A and B are shown apart, each in its own frame.
Chain A
């Protein structure tokens, strides 16, 4: 086990820069999730951590050792790939024991470790099968088994659940989390799914365009997003954004005045942010015109017009209204956010 430190890590392919200087400190035993939209450089960063890609600039340290020039095998890391990358021509047991075999570990020790890993992952009945004879979830487990047999310093996961169906994804999410709690190995987990990030991470690193947008605990990112990008990325459905300016009695948007926290100078042009789940129904609140009502059982999603802007509201109650009718809503000013209209940074 070990900590991982990235300092000013950069990557270019020829002239094209894809990672523009990343600094992250990962504590020993921490579960860190790298999240961001497709193409933002998550896999590239993970590959650099693994030693599968060269580092253009900056340093990566695992524990106290700078590993920039070490081969993957000398970094003592294990990686789980998006498509599992199981060796198709080897049995499950051979797949899991493969790395140990190449480290000249004794045969009994290998068998013992494979049995131990298979036990944890519920793979004992499948040890003699080939990957093609397994289901998606089972292959996923074998890929994890291959990583844990070695007891590495760091686990790297690259979107390990994206090939599974929604239900299995939830199950495997739980299993990975449980595995981490049991083994307490430092883990770097890449995903573009913010729900995975929120539910699994000790710490989330939000990336966009090869830069860090924000680093923090899941609820920190949810409660105080540092900029409009993070605000829109974390949470589902996404936060509503309404352009306008700060006025004397609240936030003045097109055709409506909304409650906002004090402290921002009057007249500041800004983007007002409020999450769908932070609207409350109240007959004498702000009037909004209903556009679409989508009942989901436990909650109701309503697309409505607030002034001239269409926003999404998520209510625990059932909403009886029909499109065209108006409802009243209130917003707790403490749960709203203001972002700079120009650079999108958080105000206040």
Chain B
């Protein structure tokens, strides 16, 4: 976006934007800086913008108090599986709902969408029963399967369907004339062009899985199986008091991949947008 603003208005606009930035940036800044403060400095009032004393031992203690590396790996591979699975299922289901004419397609889609209206808290008990029956309690299976076949994937399917509906039909007709079958059209034409939508799906499914809290505390019971959000609650001293600085060090490390995923996927986003559109 390029606009010609007079210098005075520019100053006002940028000033306003800077002020608005504070509530977004401050908590993150406080989290990162407090993770290297001795615990007694954390509650200083007014809060210190820059730490007065540094205590980097917190980062080491994170790994002593919990099997944090293992938990990190748990969260990472679960989120990766969920993201990959959701991208695969939602793109295929979205394409089918958008392009293949089959009886009751729209009714079926509505039924699928209704899944979004049911809160996770409602289904968690029956899901627990189900996974108990399958012997999957205290394993990662529920954390992988529930998002892929549950609400996050439904939302992703919706996004993909809307994208494929908007994709010009002529592209696929051209591909049919060029000799491609249905799956090849999906794979070589529709899917590569769906990169912006897939980028969005990847971001929010990854975030959803990474931040998942209710399901891990319900399904997991041993620390070496924990995921990060669950592990974050476990940094306490012998009397159950929270070790704030250690917890914030863990939180800082937890937030890092989110930032990385966002930066990578966002570039895909913009690139994908530039690709779309036939003419003009």
- A, B co-complexed: yes
A163 near B176 with CB under 8 A, answer: no
**Interface range on chain A (Cβ under 8 Å from partner):** 20 to 34
User: With an 8 A cutoff between CB atoms, is A79 at the interface?
Assistant: yes
A85 near B170 with CB under 8 A, answer: yes
Within 8 A of B (CB), among A53-80: 71-73, 77-79
CB distance from B94 to the nearest CB of A (A): 18
Within 8 A of B (CB), among A123-166: 131-132, 136, 139, 146, 163
A85 near B189 with CB under 8 A, answer: no
B275 near A163 with CB under 8 A, answer: no
CB distance from B47 to the nearest CB of A (A): 50
A71 — nearest CB in chain B belongs to which residue? Answer: B176
User: With an 8 A cutoff between CB atoms, is B277 at the interface?
Assistant: yes
Q: How far is the CA of A50 from the CA of B193 in the complex (A)?
A: 24
A89 near B174 with CB under 8 A, answer: no
User: With an 8 A cutoff between CB atoms, is A86 at the interface?
Assistant: yes
Report if A73-B278 is in contact (Cβ < 8 Å); known contacts: A81-B170, A85-B173. Answer: no
A72 near B176 with CB under 8 A, answer: yes
Q: How far is the CA of A86 from the CA of B280 in the complex (A)?
A: 13
**B150 neighbours in A (Cβ, 8 Å):** none
Contact of A78 among B177, B180, B184 (CB under 8 A): B177
Q: How far is the CA of A40 from the CA of B178 in the complex (A)?
A: 27
A102 — nearest CB in chain B belongs to which residue? Answer: B179
A52 near B279 with CB under 8 A, answer: no
User: With an 8 A cutoff between CB atoms, is B15 at the interface?
Assistant: no
User: With an 8 A cutoff between CB atoms, is A83 at the interface?
Assistant: yes
Q: How far is the CA of A163 from the CA of B175 in the complex (A)?
A: 21
B171 — nearest CB in chain A belongs to which residue? Answer: A85
Q: How far is the CA of A139 from the CA of B193 in the complex (A)?
A: 18
CB distance from A32 to the nearest CB of B (A): 19
Within 8 A of A (CB), among B109-166: none
A130 — nearest CB in chain B belongs to which residue? Answer: B275
A132 near B274 with CB under 8 A, answer: yes
User: With an 8 A cutoff between CB atoms, is B221 at the interface?
Assistant: no
**A99 neighbours in B (Cβ, 8 Å):** 177-179
Contact of B168 among A47, A79, A85, A146 (CB under 8 A): A85
User: With an 8 A cutoff between CB atoms, is A116 at the interface?
Assistant: no
A102 near B171 with CB under 8 A, answer: no
**A51 neighbours in B (Cβ, 8 Å):** 176-177
User: With an 8 A cutoff between CB atoms, is A315 at the interface?
Assistant: no
Contact of A50 among B177, B180, B277 (CB under 8 A): B177
**Interface range on chain B (Cβ under 8 Å from partner):** 20 to 34
User: With an 8 A cutoff between CB atoms, is A88 at the interface?
Assistant: yes
Q: How far is the CA of A50 from the CA of B178 in the complex (A)?
A: 11
CB distance from A4 to the nearest CB of B (A): 16
CB distance from A282 to the nearest CB of B (A): 50
**A241 neighbours in B (Cβ, 8 Å):** none
CB distance from A221 to the nearest CB of B (A): 30
B188-204 interface code vs A (CB 8 A; 1 in, 0 out): 01001100000000000
**A84 neighbours in B (Cβ, 8 Å):** 278-279
B180 — nearest CB in chain A belongs to which residue? Answer: A102
**B277 neighbours in A (Cβ, 8 Å):** 88, 132
**A79 neighbours in B (Cβ, 8 Å):** 173-174, 177
B178 near A102 with CB under 8 A, answer: yes
A136 — nearest CB in chain B belongs to which residue? Answer: B279
**A102 neighbours in B (Cβ, 8 Å):** 178-180, 184
Contact of B278 among A52, A85, A103 (CB under 8 A): A85
Q: How far is the CA of A103 from the CA of B171 in the complex (A)?
A: 18
Q: How far is the CA of A139 from the CA of B170 in the complex (A)?
A: 15
User: With an 8 A cutoff between CB atoms, is A87 at the interface?
Assistant: yes
CB distance from A110 to the nearest CB of B (A): 13
**B171 neighbours in A (Cβ, 8 Å):** 85, 87
**A103 neighbours in B (Cβ, 8 Å):** 179
CB distance from A334 to the nearest CB of B (A): 47
Binding site for A on B (CB under 8 A): 168, 170-171, 173-180, 184, 189, 192-193, 274-279
Instruction: Give 6 closest A-B pairs by Cβ, nearest first.
Output: A99-B178, A73-B179, A85-B170, A85-B174, A102-B179, A81-B170
* Sample of 12 further A-B pairs with CB below 8 A, known A77-B177, A87-B171: A50-B173, A52-B177, A72-B173, A73-B177, A73-B179, A73-B180, A79-B173, A87-B175, A88-B193, A131-B278, A132-B274, A146-B174
25 contacting pairs across A/B (C-beta < 8 A):
A50-B177, A52-B173, A71-B176, A72-B177, A73-B176, A73-B177, A73-B179, A79-B177, A81-B170, A81-B173, A83-B170, A84-B279, A85-B170, A85-B173, A87-B189, A88-B275, A88-B276, A88-B277, A89-B193, A89-B275, A99-B179, A103-B179, A131-B278, A139-B279, A146-B178
